[in-house]
């Protein structure tokens, strides 16, 4: 037996999230269908994170235990020949049996893309949030710095989340304008249900209300979801980077570093 770690990327527009669901097409089910064809067995797979309907991933990992001896690079090629074009396998490597795609994660980075132009862009439909008002990226960046550090993020969590521990630590956060796109990035040790989408929804202008310095700190202190903003559209959200302790991993086609 051996444990394989796969790195993938996917566009989530056509999927009801990552996790297998009844009567809905998901990323995990689509992967398992391809794995069954290539490995001649429907293997169980364990993902590094849950992503919701319409959310994308620039980098995602899942592990699988198998007795199939197919070479790792051959598995990458065969799966890519089988999968639809909106899911790509980027690499595959053998990892120690005590490695876990989810529990061995040390940090994750999310990216949220906002199209800041009065006119829609049909080529970005489903891939960005089309802002209703002009976004002040500099103000957004300054306000977002109040998320840094360790906080109770229960006020930035949607109902339906299954975790009882709502303490999370944010290592780095930014908002940057790139032409008509505003890119919001946040790196942390973990995230609650819809946490990033609520962070974005709180930082965006809403009518005459524009976020001010001090607002985020007040919401965090209140622990009240009603004080935070809307849950922004899933279309602009990407799981951008997944970080593991490099001691777990050797070889492979992509480098995974421990975040300093």
Q: Does residue 64 contact residue 6 with C-beta atoms inside 8 Å?
A: yes
Residues near 98 by beta carbon (within 8 Å), at least 6 away in sequence: none
Residue 24 DSSP symbol = B
Residue 185's region, left for phi above 0, alpha for psi from -120 to 50, else beta, is beta
**Burial environment of residue 202 by CB neighbours within 10 A (0 to 12, 13 to 18, 19 or more):** buried
**Burial environment of residue 164 by CB neighbours within 10 A (0 to 12, 13 to 18, 19 or more):** exposed
Catalytic one of 44, 52, 125, 136: 52
52 catalytically annotated: yes
Q: Does residue 257 contact residue 243 with C-beta atoms inside 8 Å?
A: yes
- Active-site positions read 52
């Amino acid at each position: 037996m051996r444990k394989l770690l796969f790195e993938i990327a996917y566009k989530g527009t056509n999927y009801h999230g990552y996790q297998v669901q009844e009567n809905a097409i998901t990323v995990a089910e689509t992967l398992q269908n391809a794995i069954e064809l290539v490995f001649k067995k429907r293997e169980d797979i364990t993902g590094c994170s849950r992503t919701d309907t319409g959310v994308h991933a620039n980098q995602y990992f899942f592990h699988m235990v198998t007795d199939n001896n197919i070479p790792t690079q051959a598995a990458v090629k065969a799966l890519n020949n089988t999968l639809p074009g909106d899911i790509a396998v980027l690499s595959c490597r053998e990892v120690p049996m005590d490695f876990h795609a989810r529990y061995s994660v040390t940090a994750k980075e999310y990216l949220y893309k906002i199209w800041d132009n009065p006119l829609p862009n049909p080529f970005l439909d489903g891939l960005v949030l089309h802002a209703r008002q002009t976004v002040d990226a500099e103000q957004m960046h300054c306000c977002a710095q109040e998320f840094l550090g360790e906080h109770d993020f229960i006020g930035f969590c949607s109902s339906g989340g299954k975790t009882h521990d709502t303490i999370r630590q944010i290592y780095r956060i930014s908002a940057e304008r790139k032409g008509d796109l505003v890119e919001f990035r946040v790196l942390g040790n973990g995230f609650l249900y819809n946490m990033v989408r609520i962070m974005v929804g709180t930082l965006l202008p809403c009518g005459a209300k524009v976020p001010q310095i001090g607002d985020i700190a007040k919401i965090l202190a209140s622990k009240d979801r009603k004080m935070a903003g809307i849950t922004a559209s899933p279309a602009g959200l990407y799981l951008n980077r997944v970080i593991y302790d490099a001691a777990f991993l050797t070889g492979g086609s992509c480098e995974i570093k421990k975040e300093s």
